[in-house]
């Protein structure tokens, strides 16, 4: 059986979804997400960049305190396939070290920047024990600010048990992403979904009953 390279969803009979955010933390947009998820007792996974964490350590600690998961998104957000194995490892371990220093917990899931990787990247992640996390709704392209309606219409088609969804809370104006997530979270809760972290979702893999 071929090894799964990027995990975009988990097969489960449980009504659970993992919503993820890349490129933060950001002092304007990340706290808004904390509020949105707190209102519904949901948890999210934040794939944070090392440089952004170093600038906003309080937000990293707050995310962890609120029960959200912090995933590894490298230290400077490079294309990993373009790096030497040594540089790739340094990017991953630099992020890992900072998360552990700020929260006391080492990240256990990783999303490569730009969802870009090579066979060499895969080998390094396997050696480090990181599952590589993708998402189903990449066509929403919220990072390009395509409009709230576009983000929502594409994402709604990707909603299902075990789905992993991607949005962005860092780099640039993320107000469209925040507005779309606010609407989506309300819809998902009304549909009976539980909002869980990626690690929680992975533990349910294969639970089809």
Contacts of 122 (CB under 8 A, 6+ apart): 3, 5, 132
The set of residues, in sequence order, having a beta carbon less than 8 Å from that of 64 and lying 6+ positions away, is 70, 102, 103, 105
Catalytic residue among 68, 73, 77, 168: 168
Please report, for residues 75, 147, 168, the alpha-carbon distance to residue 173 in angstroms, rounded to integers and kept in the order given: 21, 12, 10
Q: Is 27 helix (H, G, I), strand (E, B) or coil?
A: coil
168 is catalytic: yes
Q: Is 22 a catalytic residue?
A: yes
User: What gap in Å lies between CA 156 and CA 86, rounded to an integer?
Assistant: 40
Residues carrying an active site annotation: 22, 168
């Amino acid at each position: 059986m071929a090894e799964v390279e990027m995990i975009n969803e988990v097969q489960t009979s449980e009504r659970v979804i993992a919503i993820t955010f890349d490129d933060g933390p950001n002092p304007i947009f990340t706290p808004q997400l904390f509020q949105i998820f707190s209102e519904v007792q949901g948890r999210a996974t934040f794939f944070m960049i090392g440089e952004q964490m170093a600038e906003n350590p309080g937000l990293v600690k707050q995310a962890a305190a609120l029960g959200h998961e912090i995933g590894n998104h490298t230290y400077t957000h490079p294309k990993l396939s373009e790096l030497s194995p040594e540089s790739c490892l340094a990017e991953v371990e630099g992020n890992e070290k900072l998360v552990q220093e700020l929260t006391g917990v080492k990240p256990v899931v990783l999303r490569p920047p730009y969802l870009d990787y090579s066979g060499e990247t895969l080998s390094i992640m396997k050696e480090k024990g990181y599952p590589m996390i993708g998402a189903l709704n990449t066509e929403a392209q919220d990072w390009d600010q395509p409009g709230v309606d576009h983000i929502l219409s594409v994402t709604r088609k990707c909603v299902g048990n075990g789905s992993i969804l991607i949005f962005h809370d860092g780099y640039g104006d993320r107000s469209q992403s925040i507005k779309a997530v606010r609407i989506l979270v309300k819809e998902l809760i009304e549909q009976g979904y539980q909002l869980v972290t990626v690690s929680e979702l992975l533990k349910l893999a294969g639970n089809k009953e």
